[in-house]
C-alpha cells in the first residue's frame, strides 16, 4: 500500500527529535511492506529568519527509506490564530495536489486534528481519497474546550471516515461527545525493545 502521511509533527534535519513517535509509527509501516511518503510543513513567516534566526530543513529530504517534503507554511505568530488552518491549506495546496498526482496514494493519514485534518480533509473528500485522522489527545481534549475551535474539530471528526487514537480513554471521550464509535480504532503505544530493556547490574 502507498501511504501519504501529512503533519507538522514530524522530525526534520533542523529538529531531529521533534515528534519521534510519528517517525517510529511510519517506520513500523515500512517494515510491514508499505511505501510511505511524508509531507511535514515547516512554519515560516516573511522576515522571520531576521527577527528570530533559526535553521530550516531542506524542502525535500530522505530519511532511511522515507521521502519527506517540508513545504513552508505561512504562519503569523500571535495574530490571526483562528485563521491558521486556512493559511495551512493555502500554503501547501499545490504541494498536496502534486504529491497526490505523482504518488497516487492508496491512503492518506492526517496526523493531528488541528490544523492538519481541519485544513486538508476537505481536499481528500473533494478528490474522493481514502483517508484517516490520527487523534493524539490535546488536539481533541483541548480544542473542543475552545469555542472558536470546537466546531471545526467536531465537524472534521464527524466527516472523517476513520479515526485512530492511542488508548480506549480517548475513544471514550470522543464517543461521549457524539463521535461515532464504530469508526474509531484505539491502539496501545508500543515499546521498542531494542531501546528499552532491563539491565542486570553485575555488581
CATH code of the domain containing 123: 3.40.50.2000
Nine-digit cell string for 60: 525535500
State the total domains in the chain. 1
Name residues of the chain where pLDDT drops below 50: 50-51
Evaluate whether residue 144 is within a structural domain.
no
Give the pLDDT score at 202: 57
Give the pLDDT score at 47: 61
Give the pLDDT score at 50: 43
Whether pTM > 0.85 for this model: the answer is yes
Give the pLDDT score at 75: 84
Evaluate whether residue 149 is within a structural domain.
no
Evaluate whether residue 161 is within a structural domain.
no
Give the pLDDT score at 140: 94
Calpha distance 169→184 (Å, rounded): 12
Helices 84-103 & 118-126, crossing angle to 10 degrees? 40
Give the pLDDT score at 126: 95
35-67 exposure pattern, b = at least 16 Cβ within 10 A, e = fewer: bbbbbbbbbeeeeeeeeeeeeebeeeeebeebe
Domain containing 12: what range?
2-139
Q: Distance of alpha carbon 71 from its chain centroid, rounded?
A: 14
Amino acid at each position: 500500500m502507498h501511504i501519504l502521511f501529512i503533519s507538522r509533527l514530524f522530525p526534520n534535519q533542523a529538529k531531529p527529535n521533534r515528534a519521534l513517535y510519528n517517525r517510529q509509527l511510519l517506520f513500523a509501516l515500512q517494515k510491514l511492506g508499505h511505501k510511505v511518503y511524508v509531507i511535514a510543513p515547516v512554519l515560516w513567516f516573511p522576515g522571520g529568519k531576521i527577527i528570530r534566526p533559526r535553521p530550516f530543513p531542506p524542502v525535500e529530504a530522505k530519511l532511511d527509506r522515507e521521502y519527506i517534503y517540508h513545504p513552508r507554511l505561512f504562519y503569523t505568530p500571535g495574530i490571526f490564530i483562528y485563521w491558521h488552518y486556512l493559511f495551512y491549506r493555502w500554503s501547501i495546496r499545490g504541494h498536496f495536489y502534486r504529491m497526490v498526482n505523482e504518488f497516487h496514494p492508496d491512503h492518506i493519514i492526517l496526523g493531528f486534528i488541528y490544523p492538519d485534518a481541519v485544513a486538508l480533509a476537505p481536499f481528500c473528500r473533494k478528490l474522493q481519497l481514502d483517508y484517516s485522522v490520527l487523534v493524539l489527545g490535546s488536539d481533541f481534549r483541548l480544542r473542543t474546550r475552545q469555542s472558536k475551535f470546537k466546531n471545526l474539530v467536531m465537524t472534521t471528526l464527524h466527516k472523517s471516515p476513520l479515526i485512530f487514537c492511542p488508548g480506549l480513554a480517548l475513544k471514550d471521550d470522543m464517543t461521549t461527545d457524539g463521535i461515532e464509535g464504530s469508526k474509531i480504532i484505539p491502539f496501545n503505544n508500543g515499546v521498542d525493545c531494542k531501546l528499552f530493556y532491563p539491565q542486570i547490574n553485575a555488581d
